[in-house]
Structure 1
Amino acid sequence: MLPVDRERKELCESLLPGLIDAIQKAAAEVQRLFLSRSFAVSEKGPGDLLTSADLASNDILHNALTKLLPEAVWISEESAQSEARQSYRFAWIVDPIDGTKEFAGGIPEYSISVGLVADGLPILGAVALPAEGLLFAGGIDVGVFELHEKGRRRIQSTVTPALNEASILVSSTEFKKGVFEDAVFADLRLHPTGSVARKLALIAGGRGDANISLYPKNEWDICGGIALVLGAGGKALHLNLETLEWEAHRFNAASLLTYGLIAGSPDLVDALCKRQQEERWPVRREYGR
């Protein structure tokens, strides 16, 4: 677990109420559109869907968060990226809807993800699960909270299970494409479900033990969720394709694409990374089988 930084803690405590308010408003609008099915759908590319709900969520979050911390650059899946973004110390990294395919298909496994980065480190995050009435928010210096209609609870650390007893959340897409069919995964308890930000939030909230992804991820897919995992005392690592070593990702990087993801409690992450190295699980450089 990272040591508490007093200045960073004060900043996060001051921002957290505004962040929660913004993502709750976005979640309410997205869920309204999901239930009414009153949204337009288009394609940004083959199989890459965009809905009017993505854009509505993006507008709500942009309007609120750029006022909340004006000195942070805005990085969102649904916005043009600033050419000078790497010159900023702070960055809001946002996915207005993670799991747009599920959202458009009427599957309630989608989320809204917001992460705040300082000098490459995700220090604060919030992930809303609108269809499930859940919101997880917090960070490395302030802890993590689960908010729902009956109130909020602070996430407490839990006992780490043995690797073969751990509940490991994996991508529905990767699972359907046969990524985990190899016999080396046979002893693991894999649970396919949608939205990587959602999976990370559930793990931070103690509703899963670890996440494995072998496909590339964009920073906006994972920033908010990783902030929560770190805030809950967990660990999240990516594969460096040059050294083939697992390491923590520094956000707002030159490339917004990351490769592979193993997240969860530190002991489980270390054990899974060791398994990947020994068994050579194939971390993909691009989407596809």
Structure 2
Amino acid sequence: MRPSSPAISDAELAAAIAEGAGEILLGVRHRDLLDGRLIGDVGDAMAQAWISTVLSRHRRHDAVLSEEAEDVGDRATAERVWIIDPLDGTSEFSMGTSDWAVHVALTVDGHPEVAAVSLPAKGEVFRSDHVPPADGPLTGRLAVSRYGHSYHSAAVADRLGMDAVRIGSAGAKAMAVVRGDADAYVHSGGQYEWDNCAPVGVALAAGLHCSRLDGRPIVYNNPQPYMPDFIICRPEIADAVLDAVATPW
């Protein structure tokens, strides 16, 4: 299926959407005129409205799966599907922290073809076509939820002797591994495809290992877009991480 507006490439469009939605969300936080649940609701709605309009203008023939839009039609049978999270980490956004993100990915036959993750409060945009390889020295750190370890992340930390670093949104945790601030992000508490598709797309482009906890490849655009678990980690520790989650104790 041909793009509706070939003047801008898929990769450029993904990055532009991630950056633009981030600017809108920063505007929503302007001078703390809104706060609490209200600012999260407004941020979700405004980012979603802008993203859906941009995709309708530039890729009107592509299907879309977004956290903030109704999942309708035959999206799961489409070849090209944009998987979007307009605001990943709504609670962090509402609390005024910097650990929230915008996720934009285009999947082709279930695999992230291009992806961009924006961390607007940090002024960072990670894009799969420009991301440098994650090949610096290992840090011995494991990105975990701001609430602490899950069962499987605790097993990895114990087996590999890693220190936990608490980070807010899924995108912020994944980009900590891409950036080289952590060596792994292990999730087993359940997410949806929009929570991790763009982060996984960027991580794969950076040469990181990405899989389900049992080592299977991650496949997107499923009829039920629930994603129970996944691993993003440096390839040199992938076997050890997979062994730790397979036999945690």
Pick the structure with more strand per residue: 1
**Structure 1 SS opposite 2:236:** helix
1:87 is matched with 77
Distance apart, 1:206 and its partner CA:
2.7
Distance 2:156 2:93 in 1: 32
In the alignment, is the contact (CA less than 8 A) between 1:40 and 1:52 conserved in 2? no
Counterpart contact for 1:39–1:53, Cα < 8 Å: no
SS across alignment from 2:218: coil
Counterpart in 2 of 1:228? Answer: 202
Q: Distance in 2 between matches of 1:65 and 1:268?
A: 38
Residues 1:181 and 1:85: Cα distance change in structure 2 (over 3 Å): closer
* Residues 206 and 68 of structure 1, relative CA distance in 2, 3 Å threshold: farther
Alpha-carbon distance in 1 for matches of 2:187, 2:23: 29
**Partner of 1:5 in structure 2?**
none
Note the C-alpha offset of 1:218: 0.6
TM-score by length of 2: 0.87
Cα offset for 1:120? Answer: 0.3
Report SS of the residue matched to 2:69: coil
The aligned residue for residue 133 of structure 2 is 156
> What is residue 260 of structure 1 aligned with on the other side?
229
Structure with bigger helix share is 2
Q: CA deviation at 1:30?
A: 0.4
The superposition leaves residues 67-107 of structure 1 with CA deviations (integer Å, 9 ceiling, x where unpaired) of 33223211111000023111210111111111101111122
Q: Which runs of at least 4 in structure 1 moved beyond 6 Å after TM superposition?
A: none
Q: CA deviation at 1:166?
A: 2.5
What is residue 215 of structure 2 aligned with on the other side?
246
CA deviation string 1:238-266 (max 9, x = no partner): 24xxxxx3312210112211112211222
How far is 1:34 from its partner? 2.1
Deviation at 1:143, TM superposition (A): 4.4
Percentage of identical aligned residues: 22
Distance of 1:20 and 1:182 partners within structure 2: 34
Separation (CA, whole Å) in 2 of partners of 1:126 and 1:98: 13
After the TM superposition, which residues 102-181 of structure 1 pair with which residues of structure 2 at under 5 Å, given as runs? 102-138=92-128, 142-144=129-131, 155-159=132-136, 161=138, 165-175=139-149, 179=151
Query: For this pair of structures, how many residues does the alignment match?
Result: 241
Task: Name which of 194, 202, 227 aligns with 2:176.
Answer: 202
Among 189, 192, 195, the alignment partner of 1:218 is 192
RMSD across aligned C-alpha pairs, in angstroms? 2.5
Counterpart Cα distance in 2 of 1:102 and 1:40: 11
Cα distance in structure 2, aligned partners of 1:59 and 1:265: 36
The 1:56/1:183 distance shift into structure 2, 3 A limit, reads closer
Unaligned runs of 5+ in 2: 1-5
Offset at residue 52 of structure 1 (A) = 0.6
Taking the aligned partners of 1:76 and 1:100, their CA distance within structure 2 comes to 14
* 2:65 corresponds to 1:75: yes
Counterpart amino acid of residue 9 in structure 2: S
Secondary structure in 1 aligned to 2:219?
A: coil
Structure 1 residues 255 and 50 mapped into 2: Cα distance closer, same or farther (>3 Å)? farther
Structure 1 residues 206 and 32, CA, compared in 2 at 3 Å: closer, same or farther?
same
Gaps of 5+ in 1: 1-10, 44-48, 145-154, 240-244, 281-289
Q: What is the identity, as a one-letter code, of the residue corresponding to 1:115?
A: A
